[in-house]
């Protein structure tokens, strides 16, 4: 990988994915790798600017790398996820998901709640869940490595804050991770 020009890490519900891009400005080569696996390879592209589109992860999230000439033989590479810049995508994820990192029996787990669908993901797998209404909100139950887990959703009582989601594993509250 001698023509590696950009590397990005993208947090999605099914995990954090590494995207690498090779751009041979003399050969016109373009190669996109997702998690180390080659997704796109183009040789002898005479047009050095443009866009490469591909998908990322189990959810087949749409991604694109834009190649723009800055000056002379200098190029700028920007990554888009679902049509938004990586920065906008990350800001949106902060609003639409909750993420927790926990260690159970010596194994690390990354649990993600998609607030809009109430889907729960753990280490890249969509979990089977059971939801129930309780006195102060809702509870979403699932199991990770034989440990019972519950995401409690309760109103903050403040309109700006909205609903507060808390992950409880073995009757212990897990702090939310910042990605």
Provide the 10 A C-beta neighbour count for residue 83. 10
**pLDDT band for position 81 (50/70/90)?**
very high
What pLDDT, on a 0 to 100 scale, did the predictor assign at position 79? 98
What pLDDT, on a 0 to 100 scale, did the predictor assign at position 121? 96
Query: What's the CATH code, domain 95-174?
Result: 2.40.128.180
**pLDDT band for position 2 (50/70/90)?**
confident
Kindly provide the b/e burial profile for residues 110-127, where b requires at least 16 CB atoms within 10 angstroms of the residue's own CB: bbbbbeeeebbbbebeeb
Distance CA 63, CA 79 (A): 7
Phi, psi of 86 (to 5 degrees): -55, -40
Say if residue 148's pLDDT is above 70.
yes
Percent of the chain with pLDDT over 90: 77
Percent of the chain with pLDDT over 70: 99
**pLDDT band for position 123 (50/70/90)?**
very high
What distances in angstroms separate CA 166 from CA 30, 145, 176, one per listed residue?
43, 19, 8
Residues 54 and 63 sit within 8 Å (Cβ to Cβ):
yes
**pLDDT band for position 170 (50/70/90)?**
very high
Mean of per-residue pLDDT scores for the chain: 92
Q: Could you confirm whether domain 4-91 is CATH 2.40.128.180?
A: yes
Nearest to 148 by CA among 174, 125, 124: 174
pTM beyond 0.95: the answer is no
Phi, psi of 161 (to 5 degrees): -80, -35
Place of tokens 């139950």: 141
The string of DSSP letters for 40-84 reads EEE---S--SEEEEEEETTTTEEEEEEEEEEETTEEEEEEEETTE
pLDDT tens per residue, range 112-121:
999 999 999 9
Q: Do domains 4-91 and 95-174 have the same CATH topology?
A: yes
Q: Where are the domains of the chain?
A: 4-91, 95-174
pLDDT tens per residue, range 17-28:
999 999 988 888
Q: Which one is predicted more confidently, 160 or 168?
A: 168
Phi, psi of 134 (to 5 degrees): -125, 175
């Amino acid at each position: 990988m001698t023509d590696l020009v950009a590397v990005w890490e993208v947090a999605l519900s099914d995990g954090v994915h590494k995207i690498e891009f090779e751009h041979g400005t003399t050969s016109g080569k373009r190669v996109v790798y997702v998690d180390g696996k080659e997704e796109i390879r183009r040789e002898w592209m005479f047009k050095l600017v443009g866009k490469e589109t591909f998908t990322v992860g189990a959810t087949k999230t749409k991604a694109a790398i834009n190649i723009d000439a800055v000056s002379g033989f200098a190029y700028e590479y920007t990554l888009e996820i679902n049509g938004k810049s990586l920065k906008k995508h990350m800001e949106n994820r902060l609003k639409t998901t909750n993420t927790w990192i926990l260690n159970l029996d010596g194994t690390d787990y990354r649990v993600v709640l998609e607030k809009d669908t109430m889907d729960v993901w753990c280490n890249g797998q969509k979990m089977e869940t059971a939801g129930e209404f309780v006195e102060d909100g809702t509870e979403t139950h699932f199991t990770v490595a034989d440990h019972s887990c519950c995401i409690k959703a309760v109103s903050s009582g403040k309109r700006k804050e909205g609903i507060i989601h808390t992950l409880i594993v073995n009757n212990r509250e897990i702090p939310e991770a910042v990605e």
